[in-house]
Amino acid sequence: MKILLVSPFHPELMKGGSQQICYELFEGLKDLPDVEPILLAAVDESCGFLFKSGARITGFDQRDNEFLYLSRGYDFIWHKATVPVLVAAFVEFLELVQPDIVHFHHFLLFGLDLLTVTRRTLPNARIIFTFHEFIAICDADGHLVRRTDGSLCSHASHVRCYQCFPDRTPEQFFVREMWVKRHLAAVDIFTVPSAFMSERFVRWGLDANKITHVTNGQRDYSDGRLVTDDRTKRNRFGFFGQLIDIKGVHLILRAVRQLRVEGFTDFVIEINGGNLQYATEACRAEIEAFFAVEEKLPFDQRIVFRNGPYQVDQLRQRMARVDWCVVSSIWLETFALVISEAWMFRKPVICANAGAMAERVTHEADGLHFEIGSEIALAQALRRAATEPGLWERLAANVPRPPSRDDMVRGFRAVYGTEQPVAAEKAAPPSSAPRPALRARGSNALLR
Amino acid sequence: MAYPDIAEAVTQGVWESGRAHYFTHGVREGRLIKPEYLGALPSRDGPDFPLCHVDTVLISPNGWCLVIGWIADTVKPLRAIAWSKGNEIVAATDCIARCRREDAEPAASVTEGKLLGFWTMFHTEQPLAPSETVRLHLWVDNNDKTFDVSPRYIDDQQLRDHACAYLASSRYFFNYQVEAFRQLKGGLGNVLSRHNKEISTDITRGAHVMRFGDHARRLDGSIIVCLFGKPEYLFLQAAAFSACPGIERYEFIYVSNSPELAERLSQEATMASQIYGVDITLVLLPGNAGFGAANNAAAAQARSDRLLVVNPDVFPRERDWPTRHSAIVADLPPEQTKLFGVPLYYDDGSLMHAGMYFDFDVGLSVHAGRVDEYDMIRVEHYAKGAPPATPAFLTSRAVPAVTGAFMSIDRAWFETLGGFSPDYVFGHYEDADLCLRSVQHGQTPWMHCVPFWHLEGKGAVRHPAHEGGSMVNRWRFTDTWRDFILDGLVGRSPTRLVSDGLAEPPAPRRSGRSPAMVRREAIS
């Protein structure tokens, strides 16, 4: 069976969860004797050094079955291709490869319309689409965070979306929804890495019967070699991730400020990650202002340390320096790979009480929750974690084994129809999901 | 001597005097503004000529001229504007619009209520070269003032845009629409309309046609969409319409009034054809010919006997619309299908359109010691904002008119009617005009229930010049159709349709004639 994996970016060229998971799946499928995976990863002009004259699709670094789609002129408003020869090249590639399954991990840099052209080119192929965020629903980077006040968005509507983008019109969002759904209609099965996502997409109008939960999985970066110590104080916290607004590192810094005001300073926080340049100006200014002061303090008075960006092979070393992982995201997250990475190293997680974070981390069982977006709640959680005797030991003892790459591969094989489900499970609509009639109305309202 | 023929006739006793001839024929013939008459008047440039200024003179290669200025003509009015080459008057006009010029009022020391601004457009058969100096003449009574001006040379489309934008931005002391009507009625409306028609004709003559798809199928209909400024609606519509079963029996004809989008549209049509498998014909125009002329050019490319004139911001609301539409055309009596519309919905879910009817606004203008009434036709939509499932609006029935946002028309009937009128500037009112011509020729438009979405006003960009064009069109529409509509086509329940047994619309909110009409009749 030939499976074409369509990835936004290549993880070796641009970091990101979608491409990382897609590549893990590609690697996992390569181990199967009855499957021939082919990777088509998009790159944009930021990787211009890989562009070849007249080429639209090329190989990648002499690797078998890895190809690059040289995207250009991508329309980020409508998420569509704008260059006819690129569409023609994509179609030709499909005709040459003749995959049995085309598994999209995003439409970014390809275009939503390439879902439809895939269906038209390969009428008998199965098309799978994995959602890694909510950009199909939400144009605010798919985060479901309202740009008006930073609050979580309960649901999209044309007027509510307009409120986030006052330079557009409500009608534009009406058309956007119609456009996105038009192309998602070409998909046979959608997969989501967290169960709560199903409810959001069903409420938006997708058919619940077409949505399946398949966990993300990674190889174990610890290689089974864990650093243990018998310290009694468990007051070292680590943040792992990008230093952008949505990841909430500024929330941690505010919590530190709060604890200092309260006179509690017996803890350390290590910030691991980069891409501060992609944060908003306000967020970047807040973070830089904090460190401008922090880094001038005498060493014994410092609480927060910046370690810079890291690669996965550095995780072991960085995780060894902390007791807890803090996931301070101010959006729902759709899986939060960092939780898996923390668990690989047996670190309990302190995270926001919403979305994928709350779904994966069980409060008081294997980690702690705090109210999403609240630096006060985070400060309380940090103080408790650093001071409560036996808490760390109790929670660390219950840290689950993170889903492995094999778990994920088994889950997708079930979706592909080549194996019975193991890790995959049909996402039952949560009790809060709309009734079928309401869902039908949602989907029919645009195009019956 | 300006008119030796008249002098001779007076000498021969055919006419008692030149004055007698003038009031019998000369007024109609415009003799007092004919170049030979104005040229025969002594040039004075006297110090007693009213304070005045010429701000703008624009000329086009085809001999059109736009003049904008102001004059404190408080005693006798500005009556003619002309220009001369050498010592010869080569063009003149008395179609002069007036407007308020607040900037000139202090300098002119005029009393409030005087419209100091003037502007006009006129044509000469002797166009100027860009390097030529124009001598412009303003006449008050038989006195003139001359200006040596260096006009700006621009193409006719730009000249039209300038004129329309100036009309749209003009200010008055009373209701701007009424005042604009009064100015257009003075002759400038016809001039603007004629100029626009020349432009549209030139543009459509330069149409470039590209076809995408297999074009071998037998078709039930040709979907004609006029694009202006927003290319994205091509792929958005192609995506939405192509999801509907039966669409393979329809073709798309996109006609573009935006030359700058030509390459983009060509690329989008290439991709849409490949991605959605739809047949697309692109009609690329080298300028903005306006809605009517562009749709006519597109209709000429149709390969079916049924034209569906559709706005770019119209989208299917129900997937089976192609088969339903085809069935309506095939199964219903021809008189119900020759020209019909469909219910349109706003994106908010409410009804936007279920046919159109006509009503009148009566505007009052106080001018030169008189109060004048101006009828202005208002085109209204049935059902605007109504609950989506209102049965009365979803049943098949005859209506006075349907919107050009979605209009299904038998091609032969469209051609019999001469297509959309090219008399309208840019867009607005062509749809109602076509429907009224259909009624005039014995075929009332119908509504049939094949609902669509319509994001009214979102499918094209809109510039200030378009507002001026709409004013011209409303005046033109009123001028053309006032009497016809008054004869039983006024209001939500037009008596003519009801008496013909064609319509029994929802309970009327008011009588068939507007209150203003009734009141005026009572007085008379």
Note the pLDDT tens digit of each residue in A102-148: 999 999 999 999 999 999 999 999 999 999 999 999 999 999 999 99
Q: How far apart are CA B268 and CA B282, in angstroms?
A: 10
> Hey, which bits of A304-435 come out as E strands?
304-308, 324-327, 349-352, 367-370, 425-426
For B138-153, b/e burial (b = at least 16 CB within 10 A) is bbbeebbbbbebebeb
Q: Give chain B's radius of gyration (CA, Å).
A: 26
On whether the CB atoms of residues A57 and A89 are closer than 8 A, the answer is yes
Structural domains of chain A, with CATH: 2-219+404-416 (3.40.50.2000), 236-396 (3.40.50.2000)
Q: What are the DSSP calls for A301-336, one per residue?
A: G--EEEEE---GGGHHHHHTT-SEEEE--SS--SS-
Q: How far apart are CA A202 and CA B383, in angstroms?
A: 33
Determine phi and psi for B430, rounding to 5 degrees: -65, -35
The average pLDDT across B317-325 equals: 97
The model's confidence at residue B320, banded by pLDDT at 50, 70 and 90, is very high
Q: Nearest Cα to A373, choosing from A314, A328, A341?
A: A328
Q: Nearest Cα to A58, choosing from A83, A81, A46, A40?
A: A40
pLDDT at A176: 97
Q: At a CB cut-off of 8 Å and minimum separation 6, what does A390 contact? A: none
The average pLDDT across A316-337 equals: 96
The average pLDDT across B136-157 equals: 89
Condensed to tens digits (0 to 9), the pLDDT of residues A194-230 reads 999 999 999 999 999 999 999 999 999 988 888 777 7
Nearest to A116 among B275, B347, B458 (CB): B275
Condensed to tens digits (0 to 9), the pLDDT of residues B355-395 reads 999 999 998 888 777 888 889 999 999 999 999 999 999 99
Q: How far apart are CA B120 and CA B248, in angstroms?
A: 51
The average pLDDT across A18-24 equals: 96
Locate the chain A residue with the closest alpha carbon to B321: A448
Q: How far apart are CA B369 and CA B509, in angstroms?
A: 37
Which residues in chain A have Cβ-Cβ distances shorter than 8 Å to B231? none
Tally A–B CB contacts below 8 A. Answer: 68
pLDDT at A436: 31
Q: Nearest Cα to B97, choosing from B175, B171, B196, B23?
A: B171
- Beta bridge pairs of residue B344: B353, B452
pLDDT at B502: 63
The average pLDDT across B147-160 equals: 91
The first and second tokens of residue A135, run together, are: 């950009």
Note whether A87 contacts B318, CB cutoff 8 Å: no
Helix and strand numbers (H, E) in chain B are: 19, 24
Q: How far apart are CA A201 and CA B142, in angstroms?
A: 79
pLDDT at B448 over 80: yes
Residues of B with CB under 8 A from a CB of A: 232, 235-236, 239-240, 243, 267-268, 270-271, 274-277, 313, 315-319, 347-349, 453, 455, 458
Q: Give chain A's radius of gyration (CA, Å).
A: 22
Q: A238: buried, middle or exposed (CB in 10 Å: 19+, 13-18, 0-12)? A: buried
Q: How far apart are CA B181 and CA B475, in angstroms?
A: 6
The first and second tokens of residue B2, run together, are: 């300006």
B235, B271, B320, B352: best mutation site toward chain A, by most A Cβ within 10 Å?
Answer: B271
Is the Cβ of A175 closer than 8 Å to some Cβ of chain B? yes
On whether the CB atoms of residues A146 and A164 are closer than 8 A, the answer is yes
pLDDT at A442 over 70: no
Low-confidence winner among A45-59, A263-277, B289-303, B506-520 (lowest mean pLDDT): B506-520
Q: Which residue has the higher pLDDT, B197 or A424?
A: B197
Locate the chain A residue with the closest alpha carbon to B318: A448
Q: Which amino acid is at A365?
A: A
Q: How far apart are CA B241 and CA B247, in angstroms?
A: 7
Beta pairing class for A268-272 and A304-308: parallel
What are the angstrom distances between the C-alpha of A436 and each of A206, A439, B106, B255?
11, 5, 71, 42
Low-confidence winner among A25-39, A72-86, B81-95, B401-415 (lowest mean pLDDT): B81-95
Q: Which amino acid is at A134?
A: F
Q: How far apart are CA A332 and CA A154, in angstroms?
A: 11
Q: How far apart are CA A284 and CA A281, in angstroms?
A: 5
pLDDT at A427: 40
pLDDT at B460: 80
Low-confidence winner among A280-284, B11-15, B427-431, B463-467 (lowest mean pLDDT): B11-15
Locate the chain A residue with the closest alpha carbon to B269: A84
DSSP A292: H
pLDDT at B33: 72
pLDDT at A419: 64
Note whether A81 contacts B271, CB cutoff 8 Å: yes
Which residues in chain B have Cβ-Cβ distances shorter than 8 Å to A111? none
pLDDT at B503: 59
The first and second tokens of residue B66, run together, are: 């736009």
Determine phi and psi for A334, rounding to 5 degrees: -110, -15
The first and second tokens of residue B233, run together, are: 């609606």
Condensed to tens digits (0 to 9), the pLDDT of residues A348-384 reads 999 999 999 999 999 999 999 999 999 999 999 999 9
Beta pairing class for A367-370 and A349-352: parallel
Beta pairing class for A349-352 and A211-213: unpaired
- Could you give the count of Cα atoms lying within 13 Å of A184 in the half-sphere of its Cβ? 27
Condensed to tens digits (0 to 9), the pLDDT of residues A46-87 reads 899 999 889 999 999 999 999 999 999 999 999 999 999 999
pLDDT at B151 over 90: no
Structural domains of chain B, with CATH: 1-28 (no CATH), 32-154 (2.60.40), 208-519 (3.90.550.10)
Please, what sign has the CA dihedral across residues B218, B222, B227, B231? negative
Taking every pair of Cα atoms in chain B, the longest distance, rounded to a whole number of angstroms, is: 82
Determine phi and psi for A340, rounding to 5 degrees: -60, -40
Q: Could you give the percent of chain B with pLDDT greater than 70?
A: 94
Helix (H) or strand (E) run with residue A375 in it: helix A375-387
Q: Measured between CA atoms, how close is A142 to chain B, in angstroms?
A: 21
Q: Which amino acid is at B309?
A: V
Q: Which residue has the higher pLDDT, B25 or B351?
A: B351
pLDDT at B166 over 60: yes
B338: helix, coil or strand?
Answer: coil
CA angle B459, B460, B462 (to 5 degrees): 140
Condensed to tens digits (0 to 9), the pLDDT of residues B277-296 reads 999 999 999 999 999 999 99
Determine phi and psi for B150, rounding to 5 degrees: -110, 95
Which residues in chain B have Cβ-Cβ distances shorter than 8 Å to A120? 275-277
pLDDT at B504: 54
pLDDT at A431 over 60: no
Q: At a CB cut-off of 8 Å and minimum separation 6, what does A172 contact? A: A162, B458
A342: helix, coil or strand?
Answer: helix
Q: How far apart are CA B401 and CA B380, in angstroms?
A: 10
Low-confidence winner among A156-165, A168-177, A332-341, B365-374 (lowest mean pLDDT): B365-374
Helices A84-97 and A113-121, packing angle to 10 deg: 40
pLDDT at B501: 65
Beta pairing class for B208-212 and B280-284: antiparallel
B7: helix, coil or strand?
Answer: helix
Note the ipTM here.
0.85
Q: Measured between CA atoms, how close is A117 to chain B, in angstroms?
A: 5
On whether the CB atoms of residues A163 and A151 are closer than 8 A, the answer is no
Please, what sign has the CA dihedral across residues A405, A408, A410, A412? negative
Q: At a CB cut-off of 8 Å and minimum separation 6, what does B278 contact? A: B213, B238, B241, B242, B247, B251, B252, B272
Determine how many CB atoms are found less than 10 A away from the CB of residue A122.
20
Q: How far apart are CA A39 and CA A58, in angstroms?
A: 11
The first and second tokens of residue A120, run together, are: 């038209």
DSSP A133: S
Beta pairing class for B52-59 and B64-71: antiparallel
Which positions 184-243 of A are in contact with B (Cβ < 8 Å)? 185
Determine phi and psi for B386, rounding to 5 degrees: -75, 155
The average pLDDT across B61-82 equals: 92
> Hey, which bits of A13-122 come out as E strands?
36-43, 57-59, 66-70, 101-104
Which residues in chain B have Cβ-Cβ distances shorter than 8 Å to A114? 275
Which residues in chain A have Cβ-Cβ distances shorter than 8 Å to B240? 178-179, 182, 447
The first and second tokens of residue B423, run together, are: 């008399």
Q: Could you give the percent of chain A with pLDDT greater than 90?
A: 86
pLDDT at B430 over 50: yes
Q: How far apart are CA B454 and CA B451, in angstroms?
A: 10
